Amino acid sequence: MSKFLNIINDISRLHHRAAFSDLPQRIAAKDSVFQTLARERYTCRKFKNTKLSDVEISHILEAGRLAPSAKNAQPVHVWVARSDEALEKIGQTSKSIYGAPVVLIVGCKPEDAWVRELDGKNEAEVDAAIAATYMMLEATALELGSVWVGSFDPAKVHELFPETSGWDIVCLLPVGHPDMEPGPNHAKRKAKEEFATEL
Ligand SMILES: Cc1cc2nc3c(=O)[nH]c(=O)nc-3n(C[C@H](O)[C@H](O)[C@H](O)COP(=O)(O)O)c2cc1C
| CATH class, 54-176 region | alpha beta
Residue 132 Cα to ligand 1 midpoint, Å, equals 13
Q: What is the pLDDT of residue 1?
A: 46
- CA dist 113 → 27, 60, 64, 139, 166 (Å): 38, 23, 16, 26, 14
Q: Measuring from atom 18 of ligand 1, which residue has the nearest CA?
A: 43
Q: What is the pLDDT of residue 2?
A: 55
Selection from 35, 25, 123, 117 nearest residue 76 by Cα: 123
Q: Measuring from atom 15 of ligand 1, which residue has the nearest CA?
A: 148
Q: Is 137 helix (H, G, I), strand (E, B) or coil?
A: helix
Q: What is the pLDDT of residue 30?
A: 84
Q: What is the pLDDT of residue 157?
A: 98
Q: What one-character-per-residue DSSP string does 43-102 give?
A: B---B-S-PPPHHHHHHHHHHHHTS--GGG---EEEEEE-SHHHHHHHHTT-S--TT-SE
CA 5 centroid distance within chain: 19
Number of Cβ within a 10 Å radius of residue 101? 19
Residue 185 Cα to ligand 1 midpoint, Å, equals 9
Question: Residue ranges of the chain with pLDDT lower than 50?
Answer: 1, 11-12, 14-17
Question: Tens of pLDDT along 167-192?
Answer: 999 999 999 999 999 999 999 999 99
As a whole number of angstroms, the distance between CA 133 and CA 65 comes to: 11
Domain boundaries, the chain: 1-40, 54-176
**End-to-end C-alpha distance for the chain, whole angstroms:** 43
Q: What is the pLDDT of residue 26?
A: 58
